[in-house]
Structure 1
């Protein structure tokens, strides 16, 4: 299995970045354009988010993402309501996706 340690050429790094199928994780040193775009939208929609992680789990093609977001804006809302807020924020982007995994949480005080 490839790891992120050591010296990698840009071609090798590009290949490593795309590995994320069937449990193989890719190096997260750089983000895909889709990950950056989605993270930007969520940061704007949830400015009080204390944690945010967006991962392209489709192998880099942008068809499926996993989102982990922790925000005080979710306080008092059921999980389904929290997910609805994320879905609403990403309404335009979701149209071009195959799937989306959402994990939400409220910061611990």
Structure 2
């Protein structure tokens, strides 16, 4: 098998990396997607004591996978698995159409 020259390898690397980097830059400055807004609204309704709710579409904007960060008093004295079950229950209908979900929960510090 022949090795690629450094210039060929660099060209391939630029082509491979350019698309995700451009996509990330565009996504960084964009407002929330429809899916992010919908999930945020549902979480606000189900966790009225939440001090932080952050929903991020980590699938590139297609709504297949989300990362959720939520801080709420409702999680007090509950184990992490119970906190995540609460979030899953709140989003049970939306989860049916998702590929994956990352959940980070916490209780506000006093």
2:101 alignment partner in structure 1: 100
Distance in 1 (alpha carbons) for counterparts of 2:41 and 2:83: 18
- Segments of 4+ in structure 1 off by > 6 A? none
- TM-score by length of structure 1 reads 0.77
Task: Please state which structure has a larger fraction of its residues in helix.
Answer: 2
- In the alignment, is residue 66 of structure 1 matched against residue 67 of structure 2? yes
Match of 1:9 in 2: none
- RMSD across aligned C-alpha pairs, in angstroms? 2.2
Structure of higher CA gyration radius: 2
Unaligned runs of 5+ in 1: 1-15
Alignment partner for residue 23 of structure 2, among 19, 28, 39? 19
> 3-state SS of the aligned residue for 1:26?
helix
Give me the whole-angstrom Cα distance separating, in 2, the residues matched to 1:69 and 1:59: 21
2:41 match:
40
Matched positions, count: 91
Distance apart, 1:27 and its partner CA? 1.6
Structure 2 residues not aligned, in runs of 5+? 1-19
| Offset of residue 83 of structure 1 | 0.1
